[in-house]
Structure 1
Amino acid sequence: MSGRWIVVDDTDPQFSYNGPWQLTSGSKYDAQGNWGKTFNNSLHGLGSSGSLSFTFKGSRGRLLGTTDIKNTSGLIDPTWECFIDQKSFGTSKPFQYIENNWALCEWTGLDDGQHTASVRVASQGQYFWVDRLLYMPSDDVTLDNAATVLLDETDPAISVSSGWGDLGELGRMTQKQGSTAQVKFKGTSVTWMGTIPSSLPHASSEGTYSIDGGTPVRYTIPGLPDSDSADQFNYVFFKTDPVPLGDHELVVTHEGTESSTPLVLGNLLVENQVVQSNSAHLIGAIVGAVLGGLALILIAIVGVVYFRRYRKSSKSSIYKPINLVDSEPFHYIRPFTLTRPTDPYDPHPQPQSYSYPQQQPPPPIHYQVPITYAAPTILSSTSSSSGHHVVTPYPFTAPSATASSYKPPQPIHGHAIPIIRPPPPPGPSIPTQRRQKKLDALHNQATSPQSSAQGNSSTSSQPSSSSRVVIHQDSGVRLPGSVPEELATPVVEHPPRYTLG
């Protein structure tokens, strides 16, 4: 429809940027100048050489942005040149002050059709800022797909009541209380923009608006601070709340008077969809970054706590102190009651047992080590009253490794288990008989310690009454060098006795 412009924000993908362009928030320039705020709070800037281009179908075009030039002795920075279909269209005259919504390029008198508008920028560090592009579309271009459409005050979709008048090229205005304006639009929201003139009363005024007969929403028009203030162009009087996309009717009622700031209609921006501003994108990015940072911090805290607990448990298991007082020596087994073997040839056996201190044996160590114990040997050097030989017990020791199935021998009561004496070999030699006599003599000393001690009290080579005589049997078992406490008394040792043969 003739008279309506399509507005394209600088963040729209229809723009093609060449060079190191930067997207920034327009809020830092919103308070500059008197030409209003940036559109959708976003700007694209270039501080070096580059270009941009945009293709549209229509008869007119206009590029708006923020002018912020640097003039050094007549040298302007930045500089730019406008093109249409690769033909130079000149440039706008630089403005020495910072202003938003400034026309940087304008293409007019074009054939109705498709065109490519472009801008070449050269900068020595001063930024060239682009805000939006407007173009007058061809008649066959539908406006339903356009994000934002601009309507001026003469658009047939706008109707006003009595009390409205012209304000030159700036639009329409009213100072009459109760005057209204109706706008039919297709979209989701409407932004009412106009001018606050400095030549009219500066007192603030109010009004209301409603959509489709809904609840009125109040708005306020702030007055200018003093009579010397400049006109405020492109001022946003209000923006309606979003409604579902479709055909709607907006009704605006002015409640001011002739002594207050008038309501001015310059143009309307109709949004056909909910357009998120750059600030919304920035807020979303900030929120996402904050949540991500909190998640990382939480993960780090959990990791540190877990690591400390793991290290503490590892230290306690590795450096667990060993109680050397209560633990048993590895090589030592507690003595137990051992039944004294009896001579099978003794007609009056009298079983006797040697009682050692009764203590609980330590838990068995389940090493599969075969252990062979030598059977008691019958010594024939001592005779009982009946003329038979008597067996002398020997101390029982064993290596530290024990078989789990081993049980200590039980005392024998009543009858002794007969032990079969191996038959002596025939004809022992004389040296063997002499050695046997010496061993029998030693055996007599072991069985009669008191008589030996009384009869040889003056001989220093004989063992004392507090000594014990141990006759070793060669079982093949080798013990560590440490001696249990029970066996710490002096020991007189004799070599093992072997059978004749």
Structure 2
Amino acid sequence: MSVTYIVDDQDPAIEYLCPVQHQTVRDNYLHNTYTTIDSVDCGGGWFKYTFNGTSVRVSNRLKPVDARYAVQVDISPMLQRSGNGVYESPELADGSEHSIVYAIGNQSFFPAFDYLTVTAGQSTQLRGRTIIVDDADPAMEYSGNWRNEPITPPAMNFDYTSSPYRDTTHWSNTVGDSVNFTFEGTSVTVYGIIPASNATIPNRNLTATYSIDDGQRNSLSLSPGSTEGRPIAMTELLRSGELAAGKHTMVFTVTDIPNLSLSGVGIDFVTYNASFDNLSSIGAGTPSTAGAISDGHIPVWKPVLGAVLGLLALLVAGLLGSLYWRKRKQSKAQAKATSKVFVVRALKDHNIVNEKDGKAGSLTPDV
């Protein structure tokens, strides 16, 4: 089972290595924020993130789309790349701590770092992290006439702002279409895309409802995008917080699609705050004690069993401790311990290597 968590550009775990500007905007970015460089010094290192996982993906949009930037993963060389700024690492060793350093020193490229995601490994600590689930994930159960593309192509024209997560979206313009999502966490948020409105027709909001665990149906009214033909990505369609830790099911249902929006509403991804520790504990949870005690008294055999198990645990711990002490003593007598120290070299622009030919590269702006 693959689980991915998301980290916003404003998260304190992101370490910025050079002068930057934190920007707050109205739309088209996660949490309506992004971070850009404020100095050419960022060519030696813009930001760094340390994590435990099996891969990392950076959502950073550059203009033009063939811009030069550089990435260093762990202690590998810092490799110069070209493209639109989005970077995805190769598969990384599970169970180890990793780091990524992203660099770009040309301010004319208008870099806009929005968020990064990490694919969890078996030992990645997930409780409290924000898990992200793409609209194309099998966990998203669609009912009705959902499509993978909008009816009107301009609905996906995002220039160089944050485009849909993983470049996929599910669209609906049919009343009654719904999506079910089951998760194990303490909150859930659905993000989507609202297409541009039609200036020649009076604005009407798209409407929908959602419920959690077959509870109360909550009404949603979603304003259309701008009249300039620009859709609104990263739109928070719904948020439900302060849920009890454990498994929940969210149902989102379309109730009205105005004529001004032929593409309807687009589901991009879902996030939730995990209430499980790691991959192996998903679904395990803490069993409910409701109904376990019927008369207000604890059965007599439970304390006795607990005492016996406790005594056995102490005996086993003592035996293992003795064996460990003997083995360590023998190892010290046989050989001296040695250690290796890995030193990460200073990040400098002239240490960048071109990914394609292995030659020295640079992020210094062209003159």
Q: TM-score range by the shorter chain?
A: 0.5 to 0.7
Would the alpha carbon gap of residues 260 and 125 (structure 1) be closer, same or farther in structure 2, given more than 3 Å must change? closer
The 1:89/1:199 distance shift into structure 2, 3 A limit, reads: farther
Matched with 1:117 is 100
User: 2-side partners of 1:171 and 1:19: how far apart?
Assistant: 35
Matches within 5 A, 1:35-434: 36-39=28-31, 41=33, 43=35, 45-50=37-42, 51=45, 52-65=47-60, 67=62, 80-85=69-74, 86-93=76-83, 104-113=85-94, 114=96, 115-122=98-105, 129-138=112-121, 140-142=122-124, 144-145=126-127, 147-167=129-149, 170-197=168-195, 204-226=205-227, 229-257=229-257, 259=259, 261=261, 262-272=264-274
Give the distance between the partners of 1:39 and 1:92, measured in 2 at CA. Answer: 27
* Residue of structure 1 equivalent to 2:332: none
Could you tell me how far 1:244 is from its partner in structure 2?
3.2
Structure 1 residues 157, 93: CA separation in 2 closer, same or farther (over 3 Å shift)? closer
Letter in 2 for 1:136: T
1:84 aligned partner, one-letter code: V
Distance 1:48 1:203, change over 3 A: same
Contact kept in structure 2, 1:60 and 1:109, CA below 8 Å: yes
Cα deviation, residue 143, structure 1: 6.2
2:205, 2:32 → 1: CA distance? 26
Asked whether the 8 Å contact 1:84–1:116 carries over to 2, the reply is yes
C-alpha contact (below 8 Å) 1:44/1:131 kept by paired residues: no
Residues in 1 aligned to 2:137 and 2:29: alpha-carbon distance in whole angstroms: 24
- Over residues 278-326 of structure 1, what are the superposed CA-to-partner deviations in whole Å (9 max), with x where a residue is unaligned? xxxxxxxxxxxxxxxxxxxxxxxxxxxxxxxxxxxxxxxxxxxxxxxxx
In structure 2, stretches of 5+ residues that fail to align are: 151-166, 276-367
Pick the aligned partner of 1:30 from 26, 38, 49.
26
**Structure 2 residue identity aligned to 1:164:** W
How many Å separate the matches in 2 of 1:45 and 1:146? Answer: 30
TM-score, normalised relative to structure 1: 0.42
One-letter identity of the residue aligned with 1:60: S
Instruction: Report the Cα offset of residue 148 of structure 1.
Output: 0.9
Contact 1:47/1:125 (8 A) holds in 2: no
- In the TM superposition, what is the alpha-carbon distance from 1:125 to its structure 2 partner? 9.6
Q: 1:250 to 1:63 in 2, by over 3 A?
A: same
| 1:154 partner letter | A
Cα distance in 1 for partners of 2:243, 2:149 equals 31
* 8 Å Cα contact 1:47/1:128 also seen in 2: no
Q: How many residues align?
A: 247
Matches of 1:231 and 1:204 in 2, distance apart?
A: 14
Q: CA deviation at 1:147?
A: 1.7
Amino acid at match of 1:211: I
CA distance in 1, matches of 2:148, 2:59: 25
Post-superposition offset of 1:89? 4.0
Structure with more contact order per residue of length (Cα contacts < 8 Å, sep ≥ 6): 2
Q: TM (normalized to structure 2)?
A: 0.56
State the identity as a percent.
20
Q: Cα 1:217–1:231, aligned 2, differ >3 Å: closer, same or farther?
A: same
CA distance in 1: counterparts of 2:91 and 2:232, whole angstroms: 32
Name stretches of at least 5 consecutive residues in structure 1 with no aligned partner.
70-75, 95-103, 274-501
Aligned CA distance change for structure 1 residues 154 and 129 (closer, same or farther; 3 Å): closer
C-alpha change, 1:133 and 1:181, in structure 2 (3 Å) is: same
- 1:471 is matched with none
CA distance in 1, matches of 2:241, 2:107: 43
Greater Cα radius of gyration, structure 1 or 2: 1
CA RMSD of aligned residues (A): 3.6
Q: Which one-letter code corresponds to 2:247 in the other structure?
A: D
Task: For residue 109 of structure 1, report the CA deviation from its aligned partner.
Answer: 3.3
Note the C-alpha offset of 1:112.
Answer: 4.4
The residue matched to 1:39 in structure 2 has which SS? helix
